[in-house]
Structure 1
Amino acid sequence: MRKTMKQIHLLCNAHLDPVWLWQRKEGVAETLSTFRVAAAFCEKYDGFIFNHNEALLYEWVEKYDPKLFKRIQKLVEENKWHIMGGWYLQPDCLMPSGESIVRQIEIGKQFFKEKFNITPKTAMNVDSFGHSRGLVQILKKTGYDSYFFMRPTEMEYGDFLWEGYDGSRIVAHKVFRGYNSLKGNTEKKLEEYIREYPDREQSLVLWGIGNHGGGASKVDLEQVNSFIANHDEYHIIHSTPEDYFKELDRSKLEVRKQSLVHCMVGCYTSMVRVKQLHRQLENKLYLTEKMLSHAALHRKMEYPMDDLKKIQKSLLFSEFHDILPGTMVQSSEKEELMRLSQALTSLDELCTEVFFLLASGQKTGKSGEIPILVYNPYPYTIDTEIVTEFQLEDQGWDETKTTIGRVYDCNGTMLPSQNEKPECSINLDWRKKIVFRGVLQPSCMNRFDCKLELVEKTNKKSSYIQGDFFIIKNKGMEVWINIHTGYIDKYNVNGMDYLKENSCRLEVFDDNEDPWGMTVNRFDKKMGEFTLLSMEDANSFRGYQGNTESNINVIEDGEVRVILQGVFHYENSYAVIEYCIPKMDSYIDVTITTLINGVNKMVKCNLNSFFENPTFLGETMYGYEELHQNGEEVNFQKWCSLEMGNKVLAVFNEGIYGGCADSGNILLSLLRTPAYSAHPIEKRKIVPTDRYLPHIDMGERQFKIRIQAGEIKDKCSTLAQRWNEKPYVLSHFPSCEGVLPKKLVEIENEIIVLSAFKQTKEDTYLMRLINETDKSCVTKINLDYFNIETKLVFQPFEVRTFVIHGTSMVESDMLGHKI
């Protein structure tokens, strides 16, 4: 080959979605079919190379067709079949946490190393709907040097250096005209490529039938060979991603410092139940790992590695780029909701088991007292509201009396507490719900005691109404809720107003049947808003027409908090909003329950701030970034915020991933009601209109957010984690046996987030710490079980991973390998 000859690397692949327009079982069947065809091609045609990724699909082949799996192993050894990418599957690359993406890589790489002795160096996600800039540091610290992708589609084809938040870089490639080619059209794609890019020295072109498997076909391979024969001015080879990047001259590539967005913006909101359960599973898995590690160190409990791996695979499966974005068919949605629920149930069983182990050494409860144990998963002290329920020893049938609980800490100090209605509705003095404010020591079990007292029953509630408002004040906060609209008209923290009238307003926007949002970049055609029902209509909605309760009213009140509730409607849809306002803190917790009966709508929650020309920020993988403020739909993870100087208005969520900002307002995208898997094609109708079709997220859905303001710029990630991974609480009468556990880990600087603490093998643990701010910082860290006390320095947005064994703490890459 002459040195000046241009080179084209042909990458044959078969994009195969495990679920999408089909259920998992069909994905398995198509995997077996596609891999059989691909293996036969590799065996028959010399020089041909088939590339495929996703450990999940190889697992299916190993399980359901072991002979085929052995053929593939042989082909990999002969360099005829190339293991591409190395991840568990191709996930959504915007909504999963950074920790989840590390697990995608970890599980995938472990499988390919064990089964094929292969460690890919090029990562790929060709069908994901955008890519977080936080991926760069993850890729760099998991052994990758390059990455290729397809979306956003409007990006120009080619190569560039992609720089992460922490300054790390990898080379990235935007593929030409997609990852596949229609049957019989490969030569056409290649001709189009050389016509559009005649001067490129190094080129990469993907081909092969895809979406529902396929790969190479005889007609396409013949076309490829014909194209090679007719273009001797090019050196054209069947190739691999690694070979392409090895040949690429990187010296003149431009540097890009942004996430690769926005694309198919409806995916940030479609199928909210899947998104919420996914977030719950993320939260609970990482909480449970910390508790299990603690128990293994304290009681030498056997760490359930296999159980956790199975649960982790359920999490990773839910992150697939047609599952988490909400673009699959309804039958697959139902399957996924069951799979996620099953994984959460398994984690709950593990949590319960380990909770009792960590309760060792606790004194027994006294007569007339209820012990309350709280495990704090955070490596620092927190002052927080704690909620639990318990059963009284006997039923109280006297309607004039009720049992109240007063909570005391381990020093005998009485804490602010209140009784509230329990989850059940049995009208006896029997089941109790107690809410109290307590201080939790870091990374350990905390003990409180609830002393019971029988008192005369009263229905006395404080009156917060002043004129047209409910006004709730404490030392640092003031909240006004309008009795006519039911929305927040004022939110003031430490003398500064953050929200103005009609905040938390539920607005309805025009949408269409497309769950991707392929043809839009915003949802701004407002159709109306939810308004407060009249007293009569609200009581009718509740089912008690004779009641005289006002619509917006106080339903709980005490020393710790006050909760107000209102009922709203828009056309044939309803919403119930609860505002939970603490007596000793500066946030507002909002629970929104919607009952939607309208198709092709988008519902947003509008927060009207007093900020003028603020910065709009949102959390991403292992970092945060500035977002557009022009009404375009954007993506964020556990929090978004408006920032002006050192003042911040932040919103923490439990599974909301999309929204927009404009003119100082944040609009959180709660739900959409498009059709299932309705794909726009040219100017054709999206769906048939001669019949009823099910639409996504009709019926009852619930959303929880926390609004918090103040000088909290560098604390948003820590506060968001606390809102999501809540301490584990249970009323329990311990046995007094054993000794009290030590603290698992203590970190001095609360800016540092403990992302993971887990056992990797017997007596060896992995700890991951993140600085999700744009500032360098220092912290002390104590690990009592290992007799380690040290000081760590973090650069802006730096993620540091350590392997701990004995009295040794050694820094590693994100997979636990020595640096």
Structure 2
Amino acid sequence: MSNFSSSFLRLVLLGSLAAGAAALAQDVQPAAANVLSPASNETLKTLNALSTIPGVSWRYHAGDLAHGEAANLDDSQWKKVTKSLSAGLDAAWFRTTVTVPKSLKGYDITGARLWLNLSVHKPTGEIVYVNGRRIALGEDLEPIVLTEEAHPGDVFKIAVKLLPSPEPKTLNSGTVLIEPDSKRPRPGDLREEALAVSTMLPATAKAGDADEVNAAIAMVDTAALVKGDQAAFDASLRKAHEALMKFRPALQSVTVDMAGNSHIDAAWRWTESETIDVVRRTYGTAATLMSEYPNYKFTQSAAQYNEWLKEKYPAINQEIKRRIKEGRWEIVGGMWVEPDLNMPDGESLVRQLLVGKRFYKHEYGVDVRIGWNPDSFGYNWQLPQIYKRSGVDYFVTQKMHWNDTNQLPLRLFWWESPDGSKVLTYFPTGYGHNDLHPSREARDYMQAWERVPGTKEVLDLYGVGDHGGGPTRIVLDEGEKWSGPGTVTPHMQFSTAQNYFDHVEKTIVADSPEWNYDTLAKGWKAPADPGNGKIEIPTWKDELYLEYHRGVFTTQAQHKAYMRNTEVAVLDAEKFASLAWLKGKPYPGADFEADWKKISFGQFHDLAAGSGIGQIYKDAARDYENVLRQARESDNTSLTAILAAADTRASKGVPVAVVNPLAWDRSDAVVADVQMGAPAKDIHMEDAQGHALLSQVLSSDAATGSFRVLVEPGMVPSLGYTVLRAVPTAQAVPSDLHAEGFTMENAKLKVVVDPKTGCITSMVEKKTNFETIASGGCGNQLQTFADNPEKYDAWNIDPGTLDHFTPITAVSSVKLIENGPVRATIEIERTWQKSHFTQQVVLEAGSDHVQFNNKIDWREDHVLLKAAFPLAATSAKATYEIPYGTIERPTTRDNSFEKARFEVPAIRWADLGDGQHGVSLLNQTKYGYDAVGNWLRLTLLRSPKAPDPDADMGMQQFSYAVYPHAGDWKQAMSMRHGYEFNYPLRAVQTFAHSGAEGASHSFASTDADNVVITAIKKAEDRDALVVRMFEWAGKSGDVKLHVPAGATYAVSSDLMENPEAAHLKMDANTVTVPVHPYEIVTVQVMYKH
């Protein structure tokens, strides 16, 4: 919000002043141009020219300057600004001199109020001086009054200082606006009305009425200006206005719901601490303005902001409560912040809503029904289901208008997830309009009318945003004026988003054409106009992929690793704590809520995207480390309680429990740190029955009896444990793993590495004896791309970037560095340009995948790095994991929609194959993929330089894996493999004791391999376990859910833990759960506690 000096008086801007600058580049909008005659266009240009003083030119000085505001400063040697000029990161000065003319083309401006209207891109603050005196300070300033009463010959020496910034800033424009004496008609007003009428004419009147519009405009007597007859000119404006009044009833049949708001970025070019103050100022101003403007309504999202107010500024919070009761303060969004909606896991998005909606319900008594994320960088296909099962029926975003290739023909539509859940979705034209001009409102309406023929209502979001601010007095005055009587405009009303949806939903007919990217590529036509005040809208059955900002899936790799790792850590900790709660331990619900708030904050769209300044990632790392620490502490307590009931007795050695956090039986190698009871030269591992297991000592200290051992534990029960024993002797166990030279092989895979290039030249899936790598291809090829986006360095991978790459083929060394019975490793060392690469290609005994461990000292400048696999089996579609589901995307580039989706998001894996054979490319901390032809590629690193010049520089460590398989990805259980790669088995040394639950035990499982249990937690408000799972294969049926002993009954619930009345069928500890295709299912299992 702008900061004004105490001497500033409230000034009411009755005319459409800012229209002048905005309209210079586009005097008549396209819809109006089809209606207006050339003479009318010329007249409107003349009217527009009377809104600003012409010839204002600026000069520029780079860097700070003492007394740059001085009226007598000689700036004649400063650089002239002929276009928008980047002012860099340092402070900068801009100066101009404005002399008031006697008239503009004969139009007398004596006595007019003059305003300075500045437009600064990416401001961190500006100071405005006039004739050496400071008159304004702040950012995103409203127009500033230069004089209340202009006189010919008045001189204004204007100096603007732009303060230092983390990104280059630009003075887009600096114009002087004219507001005539209040007794005179305003030329800009008539222009606004004429544009509104002519723009809306196709939707509101007969085509023949265009002649009447032109006739009305022709009444403007511009010749009177030439003669200097001001009275005659003013009279002609009044006459033209009266002629246009004929169209008022038709225009007033259209309603514009003006929803004041302020988009606030939780952390972006500023830190969290600064955002807290932005929230204070923005919401405090909104509350104050409500006392001055009784019709004004304000819409806001992000519960985190309200929690800050509750804790730090309770007076503002109390005022918000009062305005909510009046129906003037609207709460939307329901999430903790406005997060990225592609990279967080599905359960993270549920928790965004759970902590956000619960806060709003408890603090304000509001149940949020409108999803609100206007600025995130694309929207996953399961979002409608997540919203709908959380009590959210509507969704608003404007970001899809940013597409760089295809503009979607969507405005109001049903958005449907794969399971059939639908939310009514609306695309406003923006989220931060700084004006309420009727011409803009008319233009926005016509865009909606073209998409939804017959529509009579639109939602308009206005108010300064990004760094807060919200609606200003000037804009509210403008809204009051144009919503009043006697104006030729649509019916403009201060309103809310909910009011818009309540009205428009009643007009929607049942018929709805089904659209997705494939259908659009074949051509589309607007829905029919049913007439009678009804509308037909399409149903969109696809993701909402943003054709822009494609680099956000990769930038700031360390932050993305924290995002994934904290999700895993806290979900595991909740599972273990829930089981410990059933055994009598307190459940640390408050700790978990605090953890999820921190995780959720870190998923704010600019934080998750990697598009912020460096400091916010340092702050986030501190918070994430605290989350990981708390999760570890919780695990220690919980696992101790859980294993207390295990039978860990051993006649020899020490017991080690292997814990499986996933809800199916599995066997993977696990690392155990073992402390023997006495010094030992060697150890081996045994199962509970005393059978020796395949193991490999990784490191040891014989004197202390300390060992790190890699062991194949056998099958570990679903969400359970099995007890092993570390025995102080060596014992060999046959292994299927063999490695020699540059070849590694087990019973399932054979892998060959080329010692000259480091390429995987062969990867044979032995079940079907299928060569996975395309003939002559280089698997795991590191490909580099020149990555120089035209705009938005941290955000964008521009179209064409991936068309040409340079492979890294030179190697420093390739050698077999590990050749054990459990694990073999070939290490590849490379240096390329300024960066150093160490890659370890790992194959374990019995494993069906090859793992790639990376340690990269990354020192590049505008280079993108991918790991690429040319595959022998391919198809026209690749499959990607998205939050709580999957999606298919094209591998072809046959149309503009396919070409635009050249870099796409995924969670844990992507798969490409022909149905008979395929490959899943798994990751642990990455999100950007592409599949084109037979190439499947994972994006590893970028190196943008703004807004953080050090983004991703330095040491990077991460792993990914390749899983070759027979059949398609469903038959190959790729979904499970993705989870297993991210949720490893745990090994915990324990004490020897008896236990009723035996040496091996499962606490929860299902009988369905097409269902993944993702979360088990204690319910928020009752003694119950919440079990969340999702169906991923498109199958329906009853699932048998096996739960811990002691359950009394079970019910289904929504994602917000509101239980249904009917009990689910339960037999002993088995609950029968009906599951439908692609459904996210929540079950609450009740316990006496």
Aligned length: 757
SS of aligned partner of 1:250: coil
Structure 1 residues 572-604: Cα deviation after superposition (integer angstroms, max 9, x where no partner): 211111111122122101111111111111111
**Preserved contact between residue 391 and residue 430 of structure 1 (Cα < 8 Å):** yes
1-side partners of 2:398 and 2:340: how far apart?
13
1:732 Cα shift? 2.7
The answer to whether structure 1 residue 84 and structure 2 residue 318 are counterparts is no
From 750, 757, 760, give the equivalent of 2:1016: 757
Tell me by how many angstroms 1:368 deviates: 5.9
Q: Is the 8 A contact 1:508 1:604 kept in 2?
A: yes
Aligned pair in 2 of structure 1 residues 713, 389: CA closer, same or farther (>3 Å)? same
Where in structure 1 are there 5+ consecutive unaligned residues? 397-402, 535-550, 679-693, 809-819
DSSP 3-state at the match of 1:46: coil
| Mapped pair 1:245 → 2:501 | yes
What corresponds to 2:838 in structure 1?
A: 576
In 1, distance between residues paired with 2:448 and 2:946? 38
Scaled by the length of structure 1, the TM-score of the pair is 0.88
Residue of structure 1 equivalent to 2:877? 615
Partners in 1 of 2:760 and 2:996 — Cα distance?
51
Q: What's the counterpart of residue 44 of structure 2? A: none
Where does residue 51 of structure 2 map in the other structure?
none
Deviates more, 1:211-220 or 1:709-718: 709-718
Structure with the greater relative contact order (CA < 8 A, sep ≥ 6): 1 or 2?
1
Partner of 1:193: 444
SS in 2 for 1:42: helix
| Residue 792, structure 1, aligned to residue 1073, structure 2 | yes
Among 968, 973, 978, the alignment partner of 1:720 is 978
2:630 alignment partner, SS class: helix
C-alpha offsets along residues 244-279 of structure 1, whole Å, 9 cap, x if unaligned?
A: 111112221111111111331010100011111110
Q: Does 1:55 align with 2:307?
A: no
Match of 1:502 among 778, 782, 786: 778
Q: Which residue of 2 aligns with 1:529?
A: 807
Matches within 5 A, 1:530-609: 530-534=808-812, 551-609=813-871
AA partner of residue 759 (structure 1): K
Among 470, 482, 488, the alignment partner of 2:754 is 482
Name the CA shift for 1:32/1:521 in 2 (closer, same or farther; >3 Å). same
After TM superposition, give the deviation of residue 394 of structure 1 in Å: 5.6
The structure where strand makes up a greater share of residues is: 1
Give secondary structure in 1 for the equivalent of 2:622.
helix
* Secondary structure at 2:562 match in 1: helix
Matching of residue 218 in structure 1 with residue 493 in structure 2: no
Q: Secondary structure at the match of 1:280?
A: helix
Q: Is contact 1:7–1:235 with CA below 8 Å preserved after alignment?
A: yes
Task: Select which of 903, 912, 921 maps to 1:651.
Answer: 921
**C-alpha distance in structure 1 between counterparts of 2:456 and 2:739, whole Å:** 77
Q: Is the 8 A contact 1:579 1:588 kept in 2?
A: yes
Q: What SS does the aligned partner of 1:33 have?
A: helix
Q: CA deviation at 1:455?
A: 9.6
Distance 1:158 1:227 in 2: 24
**Which residue matches 1:802?**
1083
Aligned residue among 424, 427, 450 for 1:171: 424
> Could you say which residue in structure 1 is the equivalent of 2:1004?
745
Q: Tell me, in whole angstroms, the C-alpha distance in 2 between the residues paired with 1:256 and 1:217.
A: 36
- SS of residue paired to 1:111: helix
| Residues 114 and 462 of structure 1, relative CA distance in 2, 3 Å threshold | closer
In structure 2, what is the Cα distance between the partners aligned to 1:408 and 1:168? 50
Query: Is the Cα–Cα contact under 8 Å of residues 628 and 634 in structure 1 kept in the other structure?
Result: no
TM-aligned CA deviation for residue 677 of structure 1: 2.2
Write the deviation string for residues 757-797 of structure 1: whole angstroms up to 9, x where unpaired: 11014521211111112233543222242233233342221
Tell me how far apart the structure 2 counterparts of residues 225 and 301 of structure 1 sit (CA, whole Å). Answer: 60
Pair 1:522–1:753, CA change in 2 (3 A): farther
Equivalent of 2:542, from 248, 254, 258? 258
Q: 1:232, CA displacement in angstroms?
A: 4.9
**Contact 1:87–1:104 (CA<8 Å) still a contact in 2?**
yes
Per the normalisation by structure 2, the TM-score is: 0.67
Question: Counterpart of 2:931?
Answer: 661
Distance 1:579 1:411, change over 3 A: same
Query: CA separation in 1, counterparts of 2:437 and 2:374?
Result: 18
Give 3-state SS (helix, strand or coil) of 2:636's partner.
helix
Residue 726 (structure 2) aligns with: 450
2:808 aligned partner, one-letter code: F
8 Å contact from structure 1 (residues 388, 729) kept in 2? yes
CA contact (8 A) 2:397 2:427 kept: yes
2-structure distance, mates of 1:51, 1:206:
9
Aligned pairs for 1:250-649 within 5 A:
250-251=508-509, 252-262=536-546, 263-297=548-582, 299-363=583-647, 366=650, 369-393=653-677, 403-421=681-699, 431-437=706-712, 438-453=714-729, 464-465=740-741, 470-493=742-765, 494=767, 495-500=769-774, 501-512=777-788, 514-518=792-796, 520-521=798-799, 523-524=801-802, 526=804, 528-534=806-812, 551-629=813-891, 630=893, 632-649=902-919
CA RMSD in angstroms comes to 2.5
Name which of 415, 430, 433 aligns with 1:181. Answer: 433
Partner-residue secondary structure (3-state), 1:531 = coil
Unaligned runs of 5+ in 2: 1-247, 510-535, 894-898, 1048-1067
Question: Shift of residue 417 of structure 1?
Answer: 1.3
Contact 1:597–1:699 (CA<8 Å) still a contact in 2?
yes
| Aligned residue type for 1:497 | E
SS at match of 1:347: helix
Does residue 159 in structure 1 map to residue 412 in structure 2? yes
Q: What amino acid is the match of 2:1006? A: I
CA gap 1:307/1:602 in 2 versus in 1, 3 angstroms = same
Deviations 1:499-554 (A, max 9, x none): 243211111111137444447246315452333434xxxxxxxxxxxxxxxx2222
Give 1:17's aligned residue.
265
For residues 693-704 of structure 1, the aligned pairs below 5 Å read 694-704=949-959
Q: Are the equivalent residues in 2 in contact too, given 1:34–1:214 (CA < 8 A)?
A: yes
Separation in 2, partners of 1:67, 1:599: 49
**Structure 1 residues 22, 794: CA separation in 2 closer, same or farther (over 3 Å shift)?**
same
How far residue 181 of structure 1 moved from its aligned partner, in angstroms, is 2.0
Q: Which amino acid aligns with 2:755?
A: I
Spell out, residue by residue over 1:729-759, the C-alpha distance to the aligned partner (whole angstroms, 9 max, x if none): 2223345578659632121122210011110
Shift of 1:91: 0.4
The alpha-carbon distance between structure 1 residues 595 and 163, as it changes in their structure 2 partners (threshold 3 A), is: same
Work out whether residues 745 and 843 of structure 2, in 8 Å CA contact, stay in contact via their aligned partners in 1.
Answer: no
SS in 2 for 1:508: strand
2: CA distance, partners of 1:807 / 1:801:
20
Change (3 A) 1:374 1:55: same
- What whole-Å deviation, never above 9, does each CA across 1:686-717 have from its counterpart, x for those lacking one? xxxxxxxx331011101211211213622222
Shift in Å, 1:644: 1.0
For 1:164 and 1:628, locate their aligned partners in 2 and report how far apart those are by CA, in whole Å. Answer: 19
Q: Equivalents in 1 of 2:648, 2:414: separation in Å?
A: 61
CA distance in 1, matches of 2:677, 2:266: 52
Distance 1:667 1:525, change over 3 A: same
